[in-house]
Structure 1
Amino acid sequence: MGTRSAAYTLKLTSLHDYYQRLLHGTQPIPSGFDMANTVKYFSQTLLSLLKEVRESPLEMIKSQTFDGERMALYPNLDYKQLYNALTQLIDVVSLVHIGLAAFGQALLQCLACLMPFLEHDLLDNMPYLTASSISVLPVELHQEIVNYLCFYILPFTITRKNIDETENYASQSISAVIMMVFQYSSNPAHHCQLLECLMALKPGVVKDILCVVAYGTAPARASAAKLLFYYWPTFNQNLFDRRAVLMKFANDLAPFVCQRDSCPNAGNAEAGKVCYDHRISITFAAESPPPLYLCIECANEIHREHPNQTFNDILHPMQQVSMVCENKECFDARISFIEIVETIYIDVFNDS
């Protein structure tokens, strides 16, 4: 354990050194590849520590009540300093000119691996921290950022229960997360994927959308307003031509593929099941953070080897959104509120 702790501390020092050299322009400037290799060390270390845990940290992370018990499962390493070091690197990552994509990929992976090791306040900040990376990482990583948010970060943060039963900060920050992604990603498919994930996790997410419409930047407001009337049908179909909105969001979402290392259809098989057992996850996907997302074929194969494991269905993209409200008890008496919101939409839509 002493050797592991010493190596961990030494690598932390390297991260701080990268930050200082980038911040002050000290030669030699570290490349993204050098930084990525160091960050990958932490990902592998965290996964190896997690594999030794017999309890279920992914279940314990759902409630603040179990935070003390969950943190006691791990060796006494400075996880908070690792979080702070990664946060600092995000602040200066725009100064990296070589290997930025490699570093960005390693950074996202490490953030997801670090999640089970974080205390309450740092966990609450994970959604916004991950989303904020979209402002500095290259466009080719935008899909990865949205995937990490939807599959590894948001499901374990915004649904967490506080001890006092109040809404946690992660949930309160969702409007900022939406605003960040909508502003820096120009791909409507990313916007749809994020919003569909949030609709499954957070009741009343429409309030966050309205917040973005009211206070967001122009690109974020335009996208939020269009999505508002894409997913929430209007009472007055003649108020505007909704087909134009449908066309803008007709892009197919990029499928999230099976994460198993030995998947026979690697890179092509869409994930349809998820296993929350961290040991199963690390066994079959050695470099991926838990949980483990699997195609149907791989899930069935692993289930035959481990019949006691549970494999849950995952949310797939909505294939079609109705043009009108399908609630049979829908009353026109509520139309006044909708017309007010639609007026906001029309103003933003025309501006865009």
Structure 2
Amino acid sequence: MIPPPGTGAFLNAHGWGGAAVRPLAGDASFRRYFRVTLGGRSAVLMDAPPDKEDSGPFLAIGKYLHNLGFSAPQALATDLDSGLILLEDYGDGRVTPVLAQDASDEHAIYAAAVDILAALHQHPPGDVAPYTDAEYLREARLFPDWYLPAVGLTEAPGHDAAWAQLWPALFTHPPVLVLRDYHADNLMLLDRPGHQRLGLLDFQDALAGHPAYDLASLLQDIRRIVSPKLEAAMIARYIAARPDLDEAAFRTAYAILAAQRNIKILGVFTRLYVRDGKPAYPRYHPRLWEMVNANLEHPALAPVKAWFDAHVPASARIGVKVSA
């Protein structure tokens, strides 16, 4: 992966002239990442093409989180016109591969992640847009818009109306900052003074919404299986830390949001394959369907389950076939 044009001039202008630049793993967006090293120092160069990515929210939310005492990488230098941002380097301790090597600390790491959410949700959401019912529906519609055509089905009537019966349950609590992609792949183990144990990544799409969303994102993680026992323990931990919550209403919202998110991801991962030519993502479909089928059994999901049972047969719940 070749660094973007202008990298050398950008680094020269900000005291990193002559630094070594090597690629890092990217994500599902158009952003690319490189590690920059010079004389014992290191930083992360983010290449976010301005015609495809708006880095303003990432910088603003990162600063807000930092000011609240949470560990979010701060910008060392920026050139938004070219889409180049130099960030603090949080190292290589991403939770997913760390636990793949040694899962003995799994409970403690997830407890720390849950405690971050409980603490964050004590604060106002900041200057972000609300997570509206229109946005929840837009996300849910990624399934009929992208997944159904990819498996040879057309959308049957009643999809939107079924979801509309669920949205009121998501507005029973004052909104909090919802990071929207809070899971093990976006959490970094840190060991440095002045930082919490876990660093936060990928929060640029944050909205003001229900506190159960990020908990569901963490505990129903498509990339890393969380056992039902650990999921139950972490939900209980969060609720214990938030005595102000209506527990029954929170658990109902958790069930709805877990289903909505997993169904949305079925659509997102299909779009990444069909539209963007990324063939790796459909491999997650079978696991997603396992979770969605389980999600739909919750009584709160009854209207959506009825629509799925009537219009999405078992033969279509195995994933999109990738062309050779």
What TM-score does the superposition give when structure 2 sets the normalisation length? 0.28
More strand by share: 2
What TM-score does the superposition give when structure 1 sets the normalisation length? 0.27
More helix by share: 1
Q: Which has the larger radius of gyration?
A: 1
